[in-house]
Amino acid sequence: MRYSKIAGIGHHVPETIITNDYLSTIMDTNDAWITERTGIKERRWINPDKDTVANMAAKASRMALQRAGLTEKDVEFIVFATITSDYYFPGSGVLLQRELGLEGIGALDIKNACSGFIYALSIADQFIKTGMYKTILVVGAEIQSSALDVSDRGRNTAVIFGDGAGAVILRPSDQPGILSTHLHADGRFAEELYVKDPGGSRPNKERQPEQFLDTSGFKVHMNGNQVFKHAVVRFMEVINEALAANNMAKENIDLLVPHQANLRISQYIQEKLSLRDDQVYNNIMRYGNTTAASIPIAMSEAWAEGKIKENDVICLAAFGSGFTWASALIRW
């Protein structure tokens, strides 16, 4: 049977570090408040003069290709997860294709927010298994700093999000690599975490120039209590689903890489699974919530630090806007 395996992984984050202390100079907040509620100490925000979603993704992709011993020309298909495309349309998949000089290959854009990377990985896994492609570039990348309300009104969300990109190279294998993926959604809660505009369903009168002066619809709205309440349940469900599908127990997990939404959520999951600190990888304290980029950035760092080794069982899990949630179990 044909399987898919991660052959290389990479990441890129902007140079500009935004500390909690800096945020306290532009809004009514402080380091202790942010750290206690989120675990975040700093995050990276782009330099608008040089950073784009596509070029950050290209830097992460080249690192992944180098680690896989491949070049850009080996890539046959791109699956790109982001909710912050450089343009309203087209998606950033084709812009990444252009950055890498890969004229003619297909590029698929995935808009599943925090679960986007696992959704993208699952799609690429199916393409490899069916034999349609041999080398697929799977990317999660976000620029969220430009959409944040960095005022007292928006402080509850502005302190959370950061920018960055992560990428993996998926290749065929005769041994199982991606053991299984599990994807879920519940649109009843779509408005609990969303950005309303620019939305195609708005009537023309709401699209007049004077309406755009009210930018509240372009900012992140999040019902934090609802998100937290659902996240802790769905995270556990989808992790246990992945373990059950592979006849494994929590003791079989070598490393859990959760979506970096909130350190308290990760710690809750760790406690419920009785995992040691060295069995869970968190970097939210350095980067904040980078949405679709958070899992590949964390995996790339964990691999570079020697915390992901050959034959390890890695569990990925995510929950976010939609609501959507997903998991993947991987044999490295």
Tokens found for residue 234 = 């769905």
Tokens found for residue 286 = 């350095």
Q: Which residues, in sequence order, are bridge partners of residue 8? A: 169
What is 115-132 written as a DSSP string?
GHHHHHHHHHHHHHHHTS
Q: Whole-angstrom Cα distance, residue 64 to residue 229?
A: 35
Q: Which residues, in sequence order, are bridge partners of residue 44? A: 17
Predicted TM-score of the model (pTM): 0.94
Please check whether residues 166 and 183 belong to one and the same domain: no
Residue 211 lies in a domain: no
Q: Whole-angstrom Cα distance, residue 325 to residue 237?
A: 10
Residue 15 lies in a domain: yes
Q: Which residues, in sequence order, are bridge partners of residue 6? A: 170
Q: Whole-angstrom Cα distance, residue 20 to residue 41?
A: 6
Q: Which residues, in sequence order, are bridge partners of residue 317? A: 258, 327
Helix H or strand E segment including 193: strand 193-194
Which residue in 11, 20, 289, 315 is the catalytic one?
Answer: 289
Q: Whole-angstrom Cα distance, residue 11 to residue 113?
A: 18
Q: Total structural domains in the chain? A: 2
Domain that holds residue 271: 179-193+219-331
Tokens found for residue 49 = 């003069």
Please check whether residues 296 and 257 belong to one and the same domain: yes
Cα maximum dimension of the chain: 59
Residue 205 lies in a domain: no
Give catalytic status of residue 204 as yes or no.
no
pLDDT in tens, the chain (332 residues): 799 999 999 999 999 999 999 999 999 999 999 999 999 999 999 999 999 999 999 999 999 999 999 999 999 999 999 999 999 999 999 999 999 999 999 999 999 999 999 999 999 999 999 999 999 999 999 999 988 888 898 888 899 999 999 999 999 999 999 999 999 999 999 888 888 877 777 666 655 555 444 455 557 778 878 888 999 999 999 999 999 999 999 999 999 999 999 999 999 999 999 999 999 999 999 999 999 999 999 999 999 999 999 999 999 999 999 899 999 999 99
149, 175, 201 - which closes a domain: 175
Tokens found for residue 92 = 């950033």
Q: What is the reported pLDDT for 201?
A: 72
Give catalytic status of residue 315 as yes or no.
no
| Other residues' Cβ atoms within 10 Å of the Cβ of residue 117 | 35
Please check whether residues 134 and 183 belong to one and the same domain: no
Please check whether residues 68 and 88 belong to one and the same domain: yes
Phi (first) and psi of residue 9, to 5 degrees? -145, 145
Q: Whole-angstrom Cα distance, residue 10 to residue 300?
A: 5
Residue 289 lies in a domain: yes
Q: What is the reported pLDDT for 42?
A: 98
Please check whether residues 48 and 169 belong to one and the same domain: yes
Phi (first) and psi of residue 72, to 5 degrees? -55, -40
**Close Cβ partners of 157 (under 8 Å, ≥ 6 residues apart):** 148, 149, 219, 220, 221, 222
Residue 212 lies in a domain: no
121, 146, 175 - which closes a domain: 175
118, 148, 175 - which closes a domain: 175
**Close Cβ partners of 198 (under 8 Å, ≥ 6 residues apart):** 88, 218
Peptide bond into 14 cis (omega under 30): no
Please check whether residues 91 and 112 belong to one and the same domain: yes
The residue whose two tokens read 């302190």 is 159
Please check whether residues 26 and 72 belong to one and the same domain: yes
Please check whether residues 57 and 115 belong to one and the same domain: yes
**Close Cβ partners of 303 (under 8 Å, ≥ 6 residues apart):** 9
Can you list the pairs that 305-311 forms with residues at least 24 positions away whose Cβ atoms lie under 8 Å? 307/255, 307/278, 307/281, 308/254, 308/255, 308/332, 309/254
Which residue in 11, 55, 114, 315 is the catalytic one?
Answer: 114
Which residue in 259, 262, 282, 315 is the catalytic one?
Answer: 259
Q: Whole-angstrom Cα distance, residue 321 to residue 32?
A: 27
Please check whether residues 309 and 288 belong to one and the same domain: yes
Q: What is the reported pLDDT for 206?
A: 58
Give catalytic status of residue 184 as yes or no.
no
Question: What CATH number does residue 303 fall under?
Answer: 3.40.47.10
